[in-house]
Amino acid sequence: MPYLLGLDISTTGAKALLIDEQGAIVASHTTPQPISAPKPLWSEQNPADWWEGIAASIRAVLEKTGAAKEVAAIGLTGQMHGLVCLDAQGNVLRPAILWNDQRTQAECDQITETLGFSRLIQLTGNRALTGFTAPKVLWVRNHEPEVYSKIAHILLPKDYIRYCLTGDYAADLSDASGMLLLDVARRNWSEDVLKALNIPAAWMPQVYEGTGITGRVHETAAKATGLLAGTPVVAGGGDQAAQAVGVGAVKPGITALTVGTSGVVFAPLSSYAYEEEGRLHAFCHALPGQWHFMCVMLSAAGSLQWYRDTLAPDVEFGALVAEAAKVPPGSEGLQFMPYLTGERTPHPDPLARGAFIGLSVRHTRAHMTRAVLEGVAFGLRDSFELIKAKQAVEQVRVSGGGARSLLWRQIMANVLGSALTTVEETEGAAYGAALLAGIGAGVWTDVGAATAAIRLGETVTPDAPGSYEAAYQVYRSLYPTLKDTFGRLATLS
């Protein structure tokens, strides 16, 4: 029986997931990953930790199953937008700058001024945001010229693992779309953008469709992981594109909502399109010949995690949510702004900050908890409104840690005005990467066959239509009102 191995380099862990040809999970192991914030707004990791962690996870999975000889292919996924700088010998030159790093606003302004706002969006599908890769490259050039002078290759996080496995410099198109260096419509590197930013084209990895085979495991990696040398490695996808494959968001109309640390709305497209103001991300899908819109709010379930860790560290999440269930919709006039780490959709503002608005002596911890749940739902509705202006949303498939709460799913269904269907498979991006590997290796003939095993769970429908409309309109007014205040507060920290 052939097995497929999905590898996921997330911000918090290095996961290896093994599935069989029926799509059933055989084994999974995650090695925690350290993260560093050496300065305000900075977020970095050591690529050597990724490789050590993923090798350990692979060995653990193979030891559990003894399946090394049956692994038909390996698919890769991971956190998007990170910058790995390598010299001509493939050595890492500095810690990787991550997706949630916010140091590059000046470089974003430089990119926009150089290319022009409209032309940048037409070419890349996106505006220049601090999380993307291109501004990080310019930051290294502006602030670390000694490092910059040694660069021969730049890679994304999962593609550094590919390099360690195969020795090849390669990337898939969905992840490459998030670098702000790809001509997303043409599905290749943008000569215009690279030339305008003076980034050598020779630094860029070769790009592949997500199901394409990019190389094979070499002897050194085989010894480190327990895999067989020669095992094919498939391109895979950025974490959100792979997650979408893993939940079956593989055709227009089926929208994926992921409520993890961040909140992501993913809407497949059959042809390239972009949002003129750049409020929607327009990327290539991990599937050949498809694109997608994506919206990202930086602190979704992360908002609840922060709230619990900071204000109620000794209380279980279940107990907090149970309290919130007793509070009426709208939290009696209390609102929460979930911009704890800045925001991307629909407000691309690294200086945006979280806030409780409307606190009074009548409000209790239960009100505050419910306000957090509702504030995240309001932020997600902002994203859905943008997507609905471009195409119909026929079904919403919801996953992620935040989706485990029935109360939160019901709040989101009422706020969004849409039914939400859970997906029984909870392994997310790694599962999608394994499915892509299976398609690339010929275990499945196409994406339809690969995703046939995905099992849908419970559907929650709106039970109080319109109950949040007034509160949502108040929420929409808060960011425009406080935007300048956030900027002034930033000068104080």
Instruction: Give per-residue pLDDT as tens, 379-426.
Output: 999 999 999 999 899 999 999 889 999 999 999 999 999 999 999 876
**Cβ–Cβ < 8 Å for 6, 430:** yes
**pLDDT of res. 355:** 97
Angle of the 117-124 helix axis to the 105-115 helix axis, nearest 10: 90
Instruction: Give per-residue pLDDT as tens, 156-192.
Output: 999 999 999 999 999 999 999 999 999 999 999 999 9
Residue 369 has which token pair? 């908890």
Collapsing DSSP to helix, strand or coil, 232 comes out as strand
Is residue 493 scored above 80 in pLDDT? no
Instruction: Give per-residue pLDDT as tens, 321-330.
Output: 999 999 999 9
Is residue 348 scored above 90 in pLDDT? no
Is residue 299 scored above 80 in pLDDT? yes
Q: Report d(CA 432, CA 331) in Å as an integer.
A: 37
Is residue 100 scored above 90 in pLDDT? no
Instruction: Give per-residue pLDDT as tens, 222-276.
Output: 999 999 999 999 999 999 999 999 999 999 999 999 998 889 999 999 999 999 9
Instruction: Give per-residue pLDDT as tens, 465-492.
Output: 889 999 999 999 999 999 999 999 989 9
- 344 pLDDT band, cuts 50/70/90, is confident
Q: Report d(CA 475, CA 378) in Å as an integer.
A: 7
Q: Report d(CA 93, CA 25) in Å as an integer.
A: 37
- 17 pLDDT band, cuts 50/70/90, is very high
Q: Report d(CA 397, CA 257) in Å as an integer.
A: 6
**pLDDT of res. 464:** 87
Of the candidates 241, 126, 122, which has an alpha carbon nearest to the alpha carbon of residue 174?
Answer: 241
Instruction: Spell out the domain ranges in the chain.
Output: 3-247
Instruction: Give per-residue pLDDT as tens, 127-149.
Output: 999 989 999 999 999 999 999 99
Q: Report d(CA 280, CA 105) in Å as an integer.
A: 19
**Cβ–Cβ < 8 Å for 164, 51:** yes
The class of domain 3-247 in CATH terms is: alpha beta
**pLDDT of res. 45:** 98
Of the candidates 416, 177, 408, which has an alpha carbon nearest to the alpha carbon of residue 300?
Answer: 408
| C-alpha gyration radius of the chain | 22
**pLDDT of res. 48:** 98
Is residue 94 scored above 80 in pLDDT? yes
Catalytic residues: 239
Is residue 336 scored above 90 in pLDDT? yes
Is residue 98 scored above 80 in pLDDT? yes
